[in-house]
């Protein structure tokens, strides 16, 4: 299994396909598997790099106290370890926050930047949801957190149509002290994220996407994110929320690939 030490962390990663690299960065608590439907589509055009952020999946899960900036330094170090000088960076939710820091601190590594359901900072409603998630994880368990996230992130119609597969995904969520520690550490990192005063430094062409009915990340905050990055493009998806990339997968992936492949 491919591991490397990146920024002092033992990071699990996978590389698929050939060509110019695109690095996919997942959200809070997610694993490589969260990109399972994107990898086969994107590898037709790119070398696709996916990895578990510190605190999730098979990567190292240190004690809480790290930041989204630290997670970006992990990603930059992973790129160095893989010999990748520059790549397209695609991140969703927390992954978009990590992408922001990459483009701010390591601009030479970011050819183009795509972010979905992300923000430059959190509002109080979003932070209440994070705190509630930590409370549920600690007192009830990780599966309960993901059930909450499911109902906050997706439309009822989508859940009804996909209840079997979604239930299977929840059944696979680990319940152990390491997974809990990692989730809590990432949650605090997201809550403390704030790049508002630094986004003007981003020079990479940027695409920002959002679900217009997002309950987890305020659409207002995502629009603000786009407005603070010079020349960025913004696309909203009506009738869907935080999980728009899954509910509108074909449309979202077509938009992303068109942006990455365009001049």
* Portion of the chain with pLDDT greater than 90, in percent: 94
Tell me the three state secondary structure of residue 22. Answer: strand
> Taking residues 8-26, what's their average pLDDT?
98
Compute the distance between CA of residue 109 and CA of residue 16 in angstroms, rounded to an integer. 19
Tokens of 205: 């062409």
Angle 155-145-76 from CA coordinates, rounded to 5°: 95
> Taking residues 31-42, what's their average pLDDT?
96
Which pLDDT score is estimated for 125? 95
DSSP H helices, the chain, are 39-42, 68-81, 94-105, 124-139, 142-153, 156-161, 163-171, 177-191, 219-227, 244-247, 249-261
Which pLDDT score is estimated for 193? 98
Which pLDDT score is estimated for 163? 84
| CATH fit for domain 3-261, picks 3.30.70.1560, 1.10.760.10, 3.40.50.1820, 3.40.50.300 | 3.40.50.1820
Find where tokens 């309950």 sit: 215
Which pLDDT score is estimated for 171? 81
Compute the distance between CA of residue 24 and CA of residue 8 in angstroms, rounded to an integer. 21
- Residue spans per domain, the chain: 3-261
Residue (of 59, 61, 65, 68) closest to 181 by Cα position: 61
> Taking residues 247-255, what's their average pLDDT?
97
Question: Looking at the predicted structure, is the pLDDT value of residue 1 above 80?
Answer: no
* Portion of the chain with pLDDT greater than 70, in percent: 100
Which pLDDT score is estimated for 41? 97
CA 184 to chain centre: 16
Residue (of 132, 122, 94, 103) closest to 203 by Cα position: 103
C-beta neighbour count of 179 within 10 angstroms: 19
Compute the distance between CA of residue 20 and CA of residue 260 in angstroms, rounded to an integer. 10
> Taking residues 20-26, what's their average pLDDT?
98
pTM (2 decimals)? 0.97
| C-alpha distances in Å from residue 57, one per residue of 10, 182, 196 | 11, 9, 29
Which pLDDT score is estimated for 168? 76
> Taking residues 170-193, what's their average pLDDT?
94
List pLDDT tens digits, range 116-155.
Answer: 999 999 999 999 999 999 999 999 999 999 999 999 999 9
> Taking residues 93-107, what's their average pLDDT?
98
Question: Looking at the predicted structure, is the pLDDT value of residue 167 above 80?
Answer: no
């Amino acid at each position: 299994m491919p591991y490397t030490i990146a920024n002092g962390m033992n990071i699990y990663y996978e590389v698929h396909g050939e060509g110019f690299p695109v690095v996919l960065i997942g959200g809070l608590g997610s694993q490589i598997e969260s990109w399972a439907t994107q990898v086969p589509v994107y590898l037709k055009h790119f070398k696709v790099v996916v990895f578990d952020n510190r605190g999730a999946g098979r990567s190292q899960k240190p004690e809480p106290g790290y930041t989204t900036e630290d997670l970006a330094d992990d990603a930059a170090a992973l790129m160095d370890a893989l010999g990748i000088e520059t790549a397209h960076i695609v991140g969703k939710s927390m992954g978009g926050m990590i992408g922001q820091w990459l483009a701010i601190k390591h601009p030479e590594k970011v050819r183009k930047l795509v972010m979905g359901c992300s923000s430059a900072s959190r509002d109080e409603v979003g932070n209440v949801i994070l705190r509630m998630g930590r409370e549920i994880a600690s007192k009830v368990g990780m599966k309960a957190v993901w059930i909450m996230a499911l109902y906050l992130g997706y439309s009822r119609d989508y859940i009804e149509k996909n209840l079997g597969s979604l239930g299977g995904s929840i059944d696979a969520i680990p319940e152990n002290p390491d997974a809990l520690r990692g989730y809590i550490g990432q949650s605090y990192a997201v809550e403390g994220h704030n790049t508002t005063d630094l986004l003007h430094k981003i020079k990479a062409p940027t695409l920002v996407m959002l679900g217009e009915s997002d309950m987890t990340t305020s659409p207002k905050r995502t629009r603000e994110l786009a407005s603070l990055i010079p020349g960025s493009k913004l696309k909203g998806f009506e009738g869907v929320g935080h999980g728009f990339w899954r509910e509108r997968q074909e449309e979202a992936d077509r938009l992303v690939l068109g942006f990455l492949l365009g001049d």
